[in-house]
Amino acid sequence: MSIPVVWTIAGSDSGGGAGIQADLHTFRSLNVHGCSVISTITAQNSVATTGLFPLAADAVRQQLECLQQDMPPAAIKIGLLSNVQQLQCVADFLKQWSDPLPQPFVVWDPVVVSTQQDRLSELKPQHCAELFPLVDIMTPNLDELSWLSGLEVTDEDSMYRAAEQLFQAGLSRILVTGTDFGRADEISDYYLSSDGHTQYIQQKLRTKHSHGTGCTLSSAIAAALAHDYPLEDAITVANAYVHQGLIEAKGIGRGPGPVAHTHWPQQIDHFPKINTPELPCVDLQFPSLDQEPGLYPVVDSYEWIEKLLKLGIKTLQLRIKDPDAPQLETAIKKSIQLAEKYSAQLFINDHWQLAIKHNAYGVHLGQEDLTEANLHAIQQAGLRLGISTHSYTELLIAQAYKPSYIALGHIFPTQTKTMPSKPQGLQRLRRYAALLAPKNIPTVAIGGISLERVAPVTATGVNGIAVVSAITAARNVEQAVHQLLTEMEAELEVKEKNEVAHAE
Ligand SMILES: Cc1ncc(COP(=O)(O)OP(=O)(O)O)c(N)n1
Ligand SMILES: Cc1nc(C(=O)O)sc1CCOP(=O)(O)O
Ligand SMILES: [Mg+2]
């Protein structure tokens, strides 16, 4: 697989903690190839900036044009632009992006002042609007947001007003970084766009070694975008990357040391808590499953439920999408009663009121369903809850509800349902399964899983495999169920043997 290329257009920090140097460290840690377009050479250490040497706009243009001919980027991070000539040069270059090349994502971290409070740029706020329509996301801290908007920003309301001003001037998305608004223990980044806002919350860390966090965050976003993660996930991964970097940061020099550059974030404790107006953080907990989900068929009628229970299936789902389906309640009620006789774990998709009314084993809900359903009522009725997820961000939201399992989809292209997101593939599935393992929340993979894909999916460490067409479209259902179960068991045995060998 080819490694994505990401460019940074930024200043050189001779101290190695910020600017081009932080960006290239980040790119390497997050498995992208970094190219650099230097805007300015700074003489800088951990205590002060003693010299600034902006390059001529021509020098910046030549670097850009040279790279474009041979190493086109999937994403570009823009950092320090020292003057209006440099900004104009970058804006002109982006405006004339050669058509046959795919348009890269552009992330702009509007650096004006260094961590040591030295002014680094001659730019005025009014110069910046030229670049606004050309960038996909800007990542100012509160001071930079105030400077850009000309408004004092002291709380959430004034932050929204300041952001609105920049939206009016042509910017489309903003990540306001490192805000606490007087909270002693928490620090948040706010993602604001016309679609709404999302808050990424971390516990404050007591470290002074935070030199280069803004550069690192923005270049980590660019790197994750280059790996084709959706923007919300790129922000989530970048936030975790910076948080783990702050935990690992060591003092180098007499002032604030650089944030550490480690690896793709893997520990769930390093990821942020995510708060949206639709899905606010609430304190809930659902009962555990009685057995591992294993092979988990998802079917649309009582007749299918009956057939599968008779074939020995122990976890299954009734998914009737038509709310006006005739006999909907009867099908749900009869399925619940029969599953109970077989001591099977039957989940009812979507129809949570009927599931509560007929005392189902559990309910399965998607993220959109979560906003409508009464989760407290489901919890109080003692039902289990399974939640669908399609990204890091959805996974983090889902795990905060402490559900009975989390579904991870869609892994491969599926014909069964029109999906708004892209297939995630095995590498992401492996990452998600490993991330959730310490939480003891079982995981279920779903989406395009055929018999041949059962072994590699099982090997990722998920606890169950949900299938629709692998069973419902099979010519011989009994044989399909038998083969799927045998394949899963065989792979689990291989996995166990490997784990024992590894432990010895
Ligand atoms: C096990 C499992 N995973 C995911 C889904 C999808 O649920 P949802 O996102 O609510 O979409 P619909 O199934 O309602 O279309 C599922 N049903 N089961
Ligand atoms: C119902 C459903 N939910 C998905 C998700 O990713 O949330 S994928 C999916 C369809 C799965 O069907 P098949 O096994 O035939 O691909
Ligand atoms: Mg649903």
Last residue of a domain, one of 218, 248, 275: 275
For residue 3, give both structure tokens.
């490694």
Last residue of a domain, one of 275, 304, 320: 275
The enclosing domain of 329 has a CATH number of: 3.20.20.70
pLDDT for 242: 98
To which H or E segment does residue 298 belong?
A: strand 294-299
In a domain, 145, yes or no: yes
Query: Sign of the C-alpha dihedral, residues 427, 429, 430, 432?
Result: positive
pLDDT for 280: 75
CA distance 407 to 389: 6
Q: Are residues 84 and 181 in the same domain?
A: yes
Q: Are residues 302 and 259 in the same domain?
A: no
Burial annotation 134-148 (CB, 10 A radius, 16+ → b, else e): bbbbbbbbbebbbbb
The boundaries of the domain holding residue 77 are 5-275
Give 356's contacts (C-beta < 8 A, 6+ positions apart): 363, 377, 378, 381, 383
The enclosing domain of 65 has a CATH number of: 3.40.1190.20
pTM listed for this prediction: 0.94
**Amino acid identity of 417?**
K
pLDDT for 468: 98
Q: Are residues 262 and 305 in the same domain?
A: no
pLDDT for 114: 66
In a domain, 285, yes or no: no
pLDDT for 492: 86
Please give all residues whose beta carbon lies within 6 A of any atom in ligand 1, as ranges: 298, 317, 319, 349-350, 364-366, 369, 386, 388, 407, 409, 417, 444, 446, 466
In a domain, 318, yes or no: yes
Q: Are residues 213 and 347 in the same domain?
A: no
Q: Are residues 169 and 303 in the same domain?
A: no
In a domain, 82, yes or no: yes
Q: How many domains does the chain have?
A: 2
User: Which residues fall in the annotated binding site?
Assistant: 317-321, 349-350, 369, 388, 414-417, 448, 468-469
CA distance 37 to 67: 9
Tell me which residues have their CB within 5 A of the ion that is ligand 3.
350, 366, 369
Q: Are residues 376 and 412 in the same domain?
A: yes
In a domain, 345, yes or no: yes
Please give all residues whose beta carbon lies within 6 A of any atom in ligand 2, as ranges: 298, 388, 390, 409-410, 414, 416-417, 446-449, 467-470
Question: Which of 11, 21, 14, 176 shows the shortest CA–CA distance to 81?
Answer: 11
Q: Are residues 309 and 239 in the same domain?
A: no
Question: Which of 196, 192, 180 shows the shortest CA–CA distance to 142?
Answer: 180
Q: Are residues 78 and 183 in the same domain?
A: yes
How deeply is 247 buried, as exposed, middle or buried, from its count of CB atoms within 10 A (0-12, 13-18, 19+)?
middle
Q: Are residues 267 and 345 in the same domain?
A: no
Atom of ligand 1 nearest to the CA of 317: 18
In a domain, 288, yes or no: no
The series of mean pLDDT values per 10 residues for the chain, 504 residues long, is: 93 93 98 98 90 95 96 97 96 88 94 74 91 97 94 96 96 97 94 93 92 95 97 97 95 90 97 91 92 97 98 98 92 98 98 98 95 95 98 96 97 96 96 96 98 96 97 98 96 83 78
Question: Which of 51, 56, 55 shows the shortest CA–CA distance to 118?
Answer: 51
pLDDT for 501: 81
Q: ipTM value, please give it.
A: 0.96
Last residue of a domain, one of 223, 248, 275: 275
For residue 187, give both structure tokens.
């620090």
Q: Are residues 308 and 262 in the same domain?
A: no
Q: Are residues 424 and 366 in the same domain?
A: yes
Q: Which ligand is nearest to the CA of 385?
A: 1
In a domain, 30, yes or no: yes
Beta strands in 309-358 (DSSP E): 315-318, 345-349
Q: Are residues 241 and 109 in the same domain?
A: yes
For residue 420, give both structure tokens.
């708004």
For residue 281, give both structure tokens.
């953080």
> How much distance in Å is there from the Cα of 302 to the middle of ligand 2?
19
> How much distance in Å is there from the Cα of 352 to the middle of ligand 3?
10
pLDDT for 1: 67
pLDDT for 116: 66
Beta strands in 100-172 (DSSP E): 105-108, 137-138
> How much distance in Å is there from the Cα of 365 to the middle of ligand 1?
6
pLDDT for 435: 97
For residue 485, give both structure tokens.
């179960």
In a domain, 286, yes or no: no
Q: Are strands 362-365 and 384-389 parallel, antiparallel or unpaired?
A: parallel
